[in-house]
Amino acid sequence: MPTSTSLRWLIVALSAVTLLAVAAACSAETVEVPGETIVVEKEVVKTVEVPGETIVKEVVKTVEVPGETVVVEKVVTETVQVPGETVVVEKVVTETVEVPKEVVVEREVVKTVEIEVPKEVVVEKEVEVVKTVVKEVAGKKYVTDPVIGNVIPAPEYGGTFAFASRNTFDRRMDPYTGGPSMSAIASGVMEKLGIVDWAIDRSTYSFGGYPPPVSAMIGSLAESWDASHNGTTYTFNIRQGVNFHDKAPVDGREMDAYDVEFAFHRMLGNKLTGSMYSEAEPSPGAGSLGNLPWETIQATDKWTVEMELSEPRFYGPRFTMDWYSMFVYPPELVETYGDDWDWDKVVGTGPYMITDLAPGTGITYSKNVDYYRHDEKFPENRLPYIDVVKGFEIPERATWIAGIRTGKLDYIGWQGVTHLNSIDEKESLERTNPELVFGAWSERSEASHLFNIHKPPFDNVMVRRAMQMALDLETINATYFKYGADIVPRGRIYTGAVGYHVPFDQWSDELRGYYTYDPAGAEALLDAAGYPRGSDGVRFTAEYLLGTSQDASLPQIHAEYWRAIGADVKIVTVASGAEYGSRANAGQYNLRGWIAGVKADPVWQTSYLYSGRSNLIQDPEYDALYEQVLVSGSEQERKDLVTALDMRMIDQHWVVWGGDESKYSVWQPWVVGYNLERGFGGGQNYVGFSRIWIDSALKEASGR
C-alpha cells in the first residue's frame, strides 16, 4: 500500500531503500489585487524516474485568509514516455482570486506518495525556499532590493533589535589582548581597512560567514589599495572624513593613517623593526597576519600607509584588510588606559557604540549618529538604520527558542551561535509560529571524523577505507537527519569552490567505491589488511575521543555500523575541554571529530593538514604540494594545487565523510533587509545589523 509521508520523510518500503530525486525551480509573480499586492511563488517540480519506476509527488499550497482562500495552486501531472524510462513532469497552475482582506499566513504542504519499485531510487536533499508575501498599505513605501530582487518595505530609521547569543560578552575589548574571540563583539564598533561589499552579487560571494576573497571586498577605513613590486608592497589610501566616536579620550577627532600604523605596529610587535613596539611580543591575536614575511609598515603621510613584505604572499592583501582582530583604534586609548580596556573605554569608528555590558547578561549597542558610511544598496541612506541593538547572553537552547516564539527576540541564528541544529527544531517552531522566517544554511560538515594515522589499525589505508564503506549514509540521512543533510562525499573543500576541487561524480570508479556503502567489501578489505574476525567476532578495538560539549549520538550510530564489520569502536568522553585538547594534541586517540567540506577560503583550508601547522598527518607528498601553494604566482596554479591537495586527502582517506547537515537561522517578519547574510569578513559578524531595519508598523500590528 502507498504510504503518505511528511515533507522530509520517506518510509523504507520492505527491505529496499526508496529514494526520490526532486529538482525544484521557483519564480515569483506579482498579482495586483485591489488594495494590496501579493507576491506568489510558483513552484515547478520535475521528477525524472529510472526505467520501470514511477513516483508521484503531490503539492498542495494555499494562502489563507479568514474565511476564504486567496491563492490555490493545482498540480497537474503528465507522464511522458521516453524509450527506456518514464519521466513524470508536474506543473503548478496558479489561480488568484481577488479578496478585500489581508493575507494572514502562507502554508505549504507537500505529500509524497510512495509505491513499490523494483530497484533503488536516489533522493536529493530538498532546499528551503523563503517565499515573500508583501501587502501594500496606504501611505507606506516599498522598494526593490537591488541584489536579492525582493519587494520590501522601504528602509526606515529607529527601533530596537534584540538577538540571542551563546557567546560570552566579556570585558576584553582590546584587540591586542582580546584576540579573535572579541572580533564579533567589536565588529560594528571598531572597523578594519576592508569589508565585504553589501551590494555584491550573492552568487559571487554569499556572505556565508567564511573569510572572503579580496575580489568581494571594498574599502572600509581604506578607500582604495594597490599592490606593487611583484606583490611585496601594499599601498593603502586611507579614507578622509572618518571620525572616532565622540567620547574621551579622543572626543570625535578624525582618524588618519598614523592611527592605522599604530594599530598594526602594536599588533605585530617584534615582527617589525623600527617601531615603538619592536621589543614587544606580537599580539596573541596576530595569528596568520604575523606569519607574513614583514619588512615595514609606515604612514608615509596623513592619508597613506605602505606595507612591505620581504617576499610575496598571495593572501597578504586579505589578511591586512580583514584579519580577525586587526581593528583600527586611536593610540590615545593605550596611552590613557594601558592594555586590556574595559568595554566602556573602547573607541572606534563604527556605526555603533557600546553603551552597556553586563557579563552573563548581555550587551547594548547604540547608534553612532555621526557615522560616515551610506548603505551600499541604497546609497542615499546614511547608516545605521536601527537605533539600539541588544544582545542577550542566553546559554540555554530552550530559552532562546522561547524568546523568538514569544516575540521577545527578533533573531536567533548564526551571528549569536543560537541557530536551530536540526529539522526537528525547525518543524516544531514552524508549527507554533508559521509567521517566522527561516533560513537554511550550512558552514561545514560536523559529522565527519579524523583518523590517527600514526597508530594501528588506522595506519593502514585499507582499514580507513573499510570504515567509510561500512557507513550507510543514505539510511542515516533518512532516519537521523530526516533528509536534512547533503551526503555527497567531498574532502576539505566545499562544492561551491569551483575549480578548487574535483566533484564526486568525476572521481574514479575505484575511489567512488570506497565512499559507497558496501559492508561486504569493507570486510574483504579488513581481511586483506590482516585484521580477521576473532572468536568473538571482533577484528580490533579502537577509541573515539569525544569532548564534553560534543553530541555523542551520531558517533554512536556510526560505531554500530563499524561493529557490524567487526570494528569495536568505543566512545570515550573526556572530563573537560582542556583534557580533550591535551589528548588530541598528544595523539591519544584513534578517531575523533573533524570537519570537512568547509565553506571557507579553499587555500587556507588546505593548511590544516600541512606539517608546518600540525602533526596530524605529516605526509611528504601533501607538504610538498602545500609549499608550492605558498609561492604560487597565479590563481589557476593555486586551483590546480589545492585540487591535488584535496584529492590526496580523499584518496588516502584521512577523514571519514559523514554528511553536511543544514542549520537554521530564524527572524521575525518585521526584520527587513536581512536575507541570511552572516559575516562581512573575518569575525565581522554584528556589523550586518547596521544594514537592516525594523518595519515598525508590522511590529506594532503584531502587538510587539
List pLDDT tens digits, range 454-488.
999 999 999 999 999 999 999 999 999 989 899 99
| Nearest Cα to Cα of residue 447 among 642, 269, 619, 593 | 593
Q: What percent of the chain has pLDDT over 70?
A: 80
Hey, which of 7-16, 17-26, 554-563 has the most confident mean pLDDT? 554-563
Provide the pLDDT confidence category of residue 138 given band limits of 50, 70 and 90: low
Query: What pTM was computed for the model?
Result: 0.73
Query: What is the 3 state secondary structure string of 544-589?
Result: EEECCCCCCHHHHHHHHHHHHCCEEEEEEECCCHHHHHHHHHCCCC
Question: Quick check: do 192-338 and 445-661 share a fold?
Answer: no
The amino acid that residue 71 corresponds to is V
* Domain 445-661 in this protein, CATH class: alpha beta
Mean pLDDT for 592-617 is: 92
Mean pLDDT for 100-115 is: 34
**Do residues 606 and 639 touch, judged by C-beta distance below 8 A?**
no
List pLDDT tens digits, range 634-693.
889 999 999 999 999 999 999 999 999 999 999 999 999 999 998 898 889 999 999 999
Mean pLDDT for 42-67 is: 38
Flag the least confident range among 111-125, 223-237, 612-626. Answer: 111-125
Distance CA 92, CA 42 (A): 7
Look at 168 and 648; give whichever has higher pLDDT: 648
Is it the case that residue 212 has pLDDT exceeding 80?
Answer: yes
Mean pLDDT over all residues of the chain? Answer: 83
pLDDT for position 632? 85
Spatial CB neighbours of 652, under 8 Å, sequence gap ≥ 6: 453, 461, 464, 619
Distance CA 565, CA 542 (A): 13
pLDDT for position 577? 86
Cell of 292: 607574513
The dihedrals phi and psi of 196, each to the nearest 5 degrees, come to: -70, 145
Homologous superfamily of the 192-338 domain (CATH): Dipeptide-binding Protein; Domain 1 (3.90.76.10)
Q: Kindly list the domain boundaries of the chain, sorted by start residue.
A: 4-136, 192-338, 445-661
